[in-house]
Structure 1
Amino acid sequence: MGTIYDLAKKTGFSITTVSKALNNYKDVSDKTRAKILQAAAEMDYLPNAHAQSLSTKKSWAIGVMFSEANEVGMKHPFFNGIIESFRHATEEQGYDLIFASRNLRNRDMSYLEHFKHRAVDGIVVICSDRMDEQVQELMRSDIPIVVVDMDSANCSVVYSDNIEGARLAVNYLYELGHRKIAHIAGDETIDAGAARIKGYELAMQELDLPIRPGYLVNAGFFSVEEGKQAMERLLELDDQPTAVFVAGDQMAIGVIEAIHEHGLHVPNDISVIGYDDIEMIQYITPKLTTIRQDTDEIGEAAAELLLEQMTAKERLTERRVIPVRLVERASCAPVKQ
């Protein structure tokens, strides 16, 4: 295993050029970088991380914080998909991810203190809980940061177009002839939940449809069980809906289970449309029609915004709203006449 001096001698480039190529500086041509990386691979060259951080003033580490009211974290397929895309994009640029432990609270250390101790170059927050004081502290800090799944004017953010997604869902059901459309919502304290409620209400208003008593149900924090309980409440109504827009696919699984347990059929008796397009809903019966959030694009956009800030070594404020689209499967049908 050689040194950076050996690598410079082998390639014929200066130590500065070699260092820049290894650290992905933009002022090094692709041809030069490829030649240096090839030589590094042949020499089995591995830069010393501590020396590298001293010379570049960078730790080459990004802090990752999950903040969710239901503490599901990476177990939720939506968040898992985002962080996998983010990881791939940042690792390509030479960064490692450091995940903050939930046990920090027990050690009387905040996430901000932890990330400063680890000298991270930037932080990504996967957030559904805007009331989390630790998230607010991170957003007030001077460390480059991007927050995913929450809107804010105080830092760079990336989130799906939840209002438009809800409008797509309601309009799709309307086109199938449904007029009695209910919404099983995520909690309004969560940005995504509030935005999908707003989109539902806006679409119903645009279509001149009344939101009937009991048709807007708060199902909490997007779990299967909460979705099932919310659907039970709708099924108790004298004036039952013919279609239900559900704010999350996991909730929709519980919704379909409740409908079937009441001896009804999806979609012949009640149509159901979800939100997220997580992988498992392709394998339930019936396969779920849903609004697809592009986790790859969300993760890549978050990485791009954070890398831009870390390169500039300053906080930037930018909002990226990622489009959504309708995915038709088998859980919706024309209304019975």
Structure 2
Amino acid sequence: MVTIYDIAKIAGCSPTTVSKVFNDYSDVSPKTRAKILETAEQLGYLPNAHARSLTMKRSWTIGVLFNEPSGAGILHPYFAGVIEGFKKVSTSKGYDLMFVTKDIGGKKSGYVEHCKIRGVDGVVVILPDYGDPYFQELLDSDIPCVLLDQESEQKSTICSDNIAGAMQAVEYLHRLGHRRIGHIGGGHSFAGEKRLQGYLRAMENLNLPVEPQYVIQGSYDYTMESGQAAMEELLLTDELPTAVFAAGDNLAVGAMMTLKKRGLRVPDDISLIGFDDIEMVKFLTPALTTVRQDTYALGSKAADMLIYTIEGGSGVQTAMLPVEIVIRESCRSL
């Protein structure tokens, strides 16, 4: 087994200096630090995790709290991209990930109790559930947290620019000549409400009337079934919209299924645009035009923000990442 003494001998320095590098002391020159890390990598040295935790008073473990009501779990397309980016950054900086639940040891407890028993250094929260009292307890605690798709004065937050993305979608449809533009919303979720705000703001800016019967709320878990039901409701209007902006790609896919079932064609009869750019939509017929959010970048940035706090950074941080329209085949010019 390779030891710090082996590394010190080859790198030409003392074992104390090697130990300082692995424990992130600042009083080692960049040149010496680089030499030690290069030697350690060549020798295949792995610092003892227990020793590191005792020395630095950290467990080197980050909790992942994921509330996903649709039942897709880790297969949810939003989660998959976020967690991949989060994992990449976290593991590169020496942290392991652990899922956090309210149950531990076969009995009900809470997120805070679970985090303290497991000794996690911080928690990333994906799709927060403010209706859960155990979640509020976590917000009130001193455990470092970063929340995705949420606003908070207590903890750091990160999201995509949902309002701007929705406005881009409506403005794109307007450029194609559409004036009767409907919206299938994402319920009372954070992203759903922001995307509705963007839709309404763009319609106002473009001097387009917002017909109440053209705005149908889907479910906050963005299921295809919800999109199907919303489109069924839209089809009951006296004069159909020429285009529909759906707050999520799954909603758009459901809407497309209903249109096909009713003998209507996309985009010939109704143009359709989604939001998220999940993997499957490029393979639809027609392929879905959508607003792309970079879930990998969301996860990467969230990891940077959380580790900054864990390692002594102060203050509540907020970040908002840009989005872009991906033009495919589901919208046409009038």
The answer to whether the 8 Å contact 1:69/1:128 transfers is no
**Alignment match, 2:144:** 144
Q: Mind listing any 5+ residue stretches in structure 2 that lack a counterpart?
A: none
Q: Offset at 1:141?
A: 1.0
**SS in structure 1 at match of 2:147:** strand
The answer to whether the 8 Å contact 2:63/2:120 transfers is yes
Q: Mind listing any 5+ residue stretches in structure 1 that lack a counterpart?
A: none
Q: Offset at 1:136?
A: 1.9
Change (3 A) 1:12 1:273: same
Partner AA of 1:65 in structure 2? L
Is 1:247 the equivalent of 2:226? no
Partner AA of 1:160 in structure 2? S
**Alignment match, 2:260:** 260
Is 1:211 the equivalent of 2:223? no
Partner AA of 1:216 in structure 2? V
Q: Offset at 1:103?
A: 4.8
**Alignment match, 1:302:** 302
Report Cα offsets for 1:178-215 as digits up to 9, x if no partner. 11111100112x10011111111111111111121311
Q: Offset at 1:10?
A: 3.1
2: CA distance, partners of 1:158 / 1:8: 42
Worse-matched range after superposition: 97-106 or 223-232: 97-106
2: CA distance, partners of 1:105 / 1:331: 50
The answer to whether the 8 Å contact 1:186/1:218 transfers is yes
The answer to whether the 8 Å contact 1:227/1:253 transfers is yes
The answer to whether the 8 Å contact 2:102/2:111 transfers is no
2: CA distance, partners of 1:60 / 1:128: 23
The answer to whether the 8 Å contact 1:144/1:315 transfers is no
2: CA distance, partners of 1:301 / 1:279: 21
**SS in structure 1 at match of 2:212:** coil
**What does 1:1-337 align with in structure 2 at a 5 Å threshold?**
1-23=1-23, 28=28, 31-101=31-101, 103-104=103-104, 107-188=107-188, 190-220=189-219, 221-312=221-312, 316-335=315-334
2: CA distance, partners of 1:106 / 1:208: 58
Report Cα offsets for 1:132-167 as digits up to 9, x if no partner. 323322221111111111111211100011111111
TM-score, normalised with respect to structure 1:
0.93
Change (3 A) 1:73 1:17: farther
**SS in structure 2 at match of 1:214:** helix
The answer to whether the 8 Å contact 1:186/1:219 transfers is yes
1: CA distance, partners of 2:34 / 2:105: 45
Identity over aligned pairs, percent:
49
TM-score, normalised with respect to structure 2:
0.93
2: CA distance, partners of 1:287 / 1:28: 55
Aligned residue pair count = 333
Report Cα offsets for 1:205-248 as digits up to 9, x if no partner. 11111121311111102011111111111112222111000010
Worse-matched range after superposition: 38-47 or 298-307: 38-47
2: CA distance, partners of 1:275 / 1:213: 21
**SS in structure 2 at match of 1:203:** helix
**SS in structure 1 at match of 2:38:** helix
Change (3 A) 1:116 1:237: same
Change (3 A) 1:298 1:29: farther
**SS in structure 2 at match of 1:269:** coil
Report Cα offsets for 1:260-288 as digits up to 9, x if no partner. 11111100110000000111111011111
1: CA distance, partners of 2:227 / 2:175: 25
The answer to whether the 8 Å contact 1:60/1:95 transfers is yes
The answer to whether the 8 Å contact 1:271/1:333 transfers is yes
The answer to whether the 8 Å contact 2:23/2:55 transfers is no
Change (3 A) 1:149 1:29: farther
1: CA distance, partners of 2:242 / 2:25: 58
The answer to whether the 8 Å contact 1:69/1:129 transfers is no
Q: Offset at 1:120?
A: 1.2
Q: Offset at 1:254?
A: 0.9
Q: Offset at 1:318?
A: 1.1
2: CA distance, partners of 1:199 / 1:298: 20
